[in-house]
Amino acid sequence: AGTTTGIGLQTQNSSGTALVTMLDNGNVGIGTASPGRPLHVRQSVNNLGIMVGFDSVTNDMIQLHNTTLVSTINSVNETFNITNSGSGISIIGSGNVGIGTTSPTAQLHTTGTVRFANFGAGSLQTDADGNLSVSSDERLKNVSGSFERGLESLLEINPIVYRWNDASGMETENKYAGFSAQNIQSVIPEAVGVDSRGYLTLSDRPILATTVNGIKELKKIVDEQDQLMGVENLKSVFEKMKVSDLFGVIDALKKQDEIFEKRITDLEGEIKLQKETLSKMESLTEKNKGEVSGGLEIEKNNISEEVENIFAGLEFDNSAESLKSVTSEVLKKFFETISFDNNNSVIFRDRLIAEGGIEIAGEIVIGKDSAGYAIIKENSNRVKVIFEKEYTETPLVSVTLSAGQQEDQEMQEAVEELILLSDIRFIVTNVTKSGFEIKINQPASADIPFMWMVVSGKNPNTFLSEKAENENDQTKITTENEKNEVEKNELPVENINSSENISNEKSNEENTSAENLNNAVLDNNISESINQSDGLADVNRVE
């Protein structure tokens, strides 16, 4: 069989299916009756299409070529090789594939460029030698030290905008942003290598490590600046304030000292009364003492339990037997209220009342609900102090600004000087058995610390000022008194006319002093100073 215009050849099987067909145009078909190529093989079942076997190991099994292209299969060194007047594609017996080389040393070896069209930027990473980066497990590394390059090296890097040129083998139309290998080599040489053609290559891992170190250095600089800004912020607060009344501040502090001194005097009286009570008890015991039958040993923390044993070991005559019982009971109840700690300090478990004075030779340590600090935070105008344990009566509260102790003398003097420029006005309000509030006249532009003390007064006295019948009478009285004082001291007459102004100015100073009980503002580290203060309470809550 064949075409109608020439001679052809066809072989069929017993069922009439074409096996081999040769057309008059020279096309040969195997398994097809209409070959479209010089050799057209078609297999309708799942078997191999073409199998070529050859016993020679020194010659090519198959060689296809035209005047410039030579394709060889199964030569001495290559299983498959396509060349075009030079090295093209080679697959050697080991399975290595070479592009541009007939002797590939890796499973895929190319002497030119490679482009991954479907990957975004950064999807593939290579080192300076062109190897793809796959793993970063430290177990696969011999770590020799830390990478030290940082901010100084980063500042020397000059990013560029570029297009690839023809020699690169890359597309040349698009614009890219990146680095110059020559620039990077001068500051981070670890990031630069050389390829087989002599061109510089770039690895981003050393640049990334340098960036991390640079960020750490910047963080340290920022922290240092924050500390400096704390001082500058403190200065800005006081620069906005005005000098009000230095003498008023001093007078107010004196009044505060008087309150403390009175409290100390009261405590001294209480202690003195306790001493007198103990002395009377000792005298009473001495007067009515008997003989001890047996040893007398007392554990300090079990005195109340041992009192009965003590008196049981004493012998009294009939006239003192009733005194023995009364004295034993009194002492037992007394010692139930006290104990001793590891420092041999006496601890009273109940209220201590002294009708006389108390004299204290050592330091006075008070509890967290008796004294402490409070801070009005920036942009706030009040702070609330809450006691851990409620007072039985509404307490008396005293508040003052606190400068604390700065790190060095220069800073201490600076804070003290700035305090004299302040105009912080504050009041104590909402005083209850459970706490109180401190309120200032305007939102704080920085943290403002206060020191407070609280005492519980039993039926405290309240004193009222005397009120003149009218303002003219008061002025007249004051003026007459001043004139008498002038005449007494034989002062010049012209000073009399100014006495009223002097009196008014002094009155204004006294009225202002109570509003200017301030001392200083601590720096931004006040919280740490407060926590380290022995015997003073922490700030409970800032609103």
Condensed to tens digits (0 to 9), the pLDDT of residues 295-351 reads 444 444 455 555 555 555 555 455 555 555 556 566 666 666 666 666 667 776 666
Nearest to 450 by CA among 427, 476, 434: 427
149/214 Cα distance (integer angstroms): 8
Are 144 and 136 within 8 A, CB to CB? no
pLDDT value for 58: 59
The sign of the CA dihedral 201, 204, 205, 210 is positive
Q: What is the pLDDT of residues 484-524, one digit of tens each?
A: 555 555 444 444 444 444 444 544 544 443 344 333 333 43
The pTM is what? 0.31
Are 24 and 8 within 8 A, CB to CB? yes
192/288 Cα distance (integer angstroms): 103
Task: Go through the chain and tell me how many residues it has.
Answer: 543
Q: What is the pLDDT of residues 441-486, one digit of tens each?
A: 888 877 788 899 999 887 888 888 887 666 565 555 555 555 555 5
Q: Which residue has the tokens 């991390």?
A: 212
